[in-house]
Structure 1
Amino acid sequence: MKILIPTDHSLLARKAAEYAVSLSANLDAEFILLHCDNVPRPSYSFVNKLDDILRDEALKTGNELADSIRQSTGINAKITCDFTFGNPVEILEDYSQKHNVDLIVMGTKGETVVKNRLFGSVASGVLEHVSCPTLFVPSAAEGNKPQNIAFATDLTNIDEEIEELIAFAQFFNATIHVVHVYPDMIDPSTFDEESTKLELIAKTSYANITFNAVMDDDIIAGLDAFVQSDNPDLIAMFTYKTGILEYLFNESLSEEMTMHSKTPLLIMRKK
């Protein structure tokens, strides 16, 4: 597994890097710490020399960070460092495809549902435009391996989505808790949790699955209630051009999402 960790050498980025390394302790994982400089610059010889200095300094700082992460996690992880100039969102999309990255791990502020306040502008751009699966790690997240994954879904593409999520979950032998939030106008007897669970297990041949139907007119409140009661290690969602994230991150919403204060969020994009 190849994991890309964008870093600006902040404490938030370090937290995400430590989480990623701890998460993959027993995996054959390779980590890339990527620093991107987005300052526009003209093509003059003295500027090129300055660029070389910036690159050398960034790589030196990155290697020091890598050594520090190995020490703090106690894991002799394979970590390389890279540096580039350009728009971070565009760079991450191109870089992840060129280098066959399996997962991007980024730090987030973990504050509110509003995109730029929760993720920051770069992470919000990644959320919307980068196709590689991305794990957003809040500053308060604990470095636990994901033994329990809450999979939020509207069930429309459940068969395809859960197969992709299983490919991730099986690295950790994690249990996938399928969570479907439905409005109170729907009869609860519509959802037979036990039979749906058994059907999913039969279709996927993956035994570690549960199904949870949560009644709530507010998707955010329903997911939040499940997270508060079951305390999963990670939340997983799939995004489409229109879908759950467009609702969750609508700029008009102002509710606090306590589930983002400490629970990492795995986003897997679909075309």
Structure 2
Amino acid sequence: MRHQILVPTDFSDNAWSAALYALKLYANTPCTFYFSHAWTFLNSGSRGHISSSYIEPLIENAKEQLEALKDRAKLESTNSDHQFETIFSYGSLMDSVEFANKEHNIDLVVMGTKGATGAKKIFLGSNAVTVINKVRRAPVLLVPKKSKFETPKKILFPNAFSRFFGEEIKRVKQLAQLHGSSIDILHINKKDTLSDLQNSNLESLKAELADFEFNFNWLPDYNSKAIAITDFIKDNDINILTMINYEHSFIENLVKEPIIKKLGFHSKIPFMVIPRID
């Protein structure tokens, strides 16, 4: 199976770090990597007309940067079954992602996150939030600033077991198959027992993961699920965090609110957000 991986780029160090992570994560897997750049002219101020003689060199420079990025990725790759393409488009990042999804049947979008600045800490950033909220076909793998690749021996999958597991769970399994990772299932709840529905969904999940190494972990209710997840990641040497982006879920709350540094969700590991299938 050949994976189709989309790596949007603004030519920043963060975007390149995400590209490197993707190359290493899929080092042993046939893939086509699509490096995409959405070009938009910004900061035009009050000028009513911008001449083509000014715009065209900017566009050509961006196209050259995109080709150079592709060549750089080829040099970094260690797999002859890796192929590389570029997608240059005009408009928004989201337009570019949607075009790639439609034209190339993308399996995964890999993005770098810039990290937070200032007194309040926003974990993801506006571009990542936009993609998470609007992409409904492919998972989004968010690679934190300066994140270095480590073979993902352990994947974390927090879940409330409030919904039946459908096609979404296949994304977790596909990720685990890349490097034979074990899966840590994390349930955070102040109640001592599960409801009948939760038990049924848990049994369904166990059946889905029968061919994988997995562990079930139960934590008491924290004041903040963000703290609980962050602590579990640190204490258990987790390499990748995965979650399904259900409506009214923890992720939905996470992407809406600025989070204070000392209380926040500051994972230093990649975070895969899996879109729900309606």
Do the aligned residues in 1 keep the contact of 2:14 with 2:146 (CA within 8 Å)?
no
Do the aligned residues in 2 keep the contact of 1:237 with 1:267 (CA within 8 Å)?
yes
1:33-72 equivalent positions in 2, closer than 5 A: 33-39=35-41, 47=52, 53-72=57-76
| C-alpha displacement of 1:255 | 4.5
Unaligned runs of 5+ in 2: 196-200
Cα displacement string for residues 135-166 of structure 1 (whole angstroms, at most 9, x for unaligned residues): 00001322123221101111122533434421
The answer as to 2:175 corresponding to 1:168 is yes
Corresponding residue for residue 228 of structure 1? 234
Do the aligned residues in 2 keep the contact of 1:116 with 1:124 (CA within 8 Å)?
no
| Paired residue secondary structure (2:28) | coil
1:137-156 equivalent positions in 2, closer than 5 A: 137-156=143-162
Q: Distance in 1 between matches of 2:140 and 2:263?
A: 19
Measured at CA, do residues 2 and 252 of structure 1 come closer, stay the same or move farther in structure 2, by a change above 3 Å?
closer
Measured at CA, do residues 61 and 163 of structure 1 come closer, stay the same or move farther in structure 2, by a change above 3 Å?
closer
Do the aligned residues in 1 keep the contact of 2:123 with 2:265 (CA within 8 Å)?
no
Corresponding residue for residue 14 of structure 1? 16
Do the aligned residues in 1 keep the contact of 2:39 with 2:89 (CA within 8 Å)?
yes
Measured at CA, do residues 68 and 256 of structure 1 come closer, stay the same or move farther in structure 2, by a change above 3 Å?
farther
The answer as to 2:125 corresponding to 1:157 is no
Q: Distance in 1 between matches of 2:68 and 2:258?
A: 42
1:133 to 139, 159, 167: 139
Do the aligned residues in 2 keep the contact of 1:182 with 1:213 (CA within 8 Å)?
yes
| Paired residue secondary structure (2:229) | helix
| C-alpha displacement of 1:171 | 2.7
* Deviation larger for 68-77 or 149-158: 68-77
Q: Percent identity at matched positions?
A: 27
- Please report the TM-score for the alignment, with normalisation by the length of structure 1: 0.83
Q: Distance in 2 between matches of 1:209 and 1:172?
A: 14
Q: Distance in 1 between matches of 2:202 and 2:127?
A: 38
* Deviation larger for 211-220 or 51-60: 51-60
Corresponding residue for residue 216 of structure 1? 221
Amino acid at match of 1:10: S
Cα displacement string for residues 55-96 of structure 1 (whole angstroms, at most 9, x for unaligned residues): 443232122222323434555542211210011123312321
| C-alpha displacement of 1:45 | 11
The answer as to 2:269 corresponding to 1:267 is no
Unaligned runs of 5+ in 1: none
The answer as to 2:112 corresponding to 1:107 is yes
Do the aligned residues in 1 keep the contact of 2:227 with 2:265 (CA within 8 Å)?
no
Alignment root-mean-square deviation, CA? 3.1
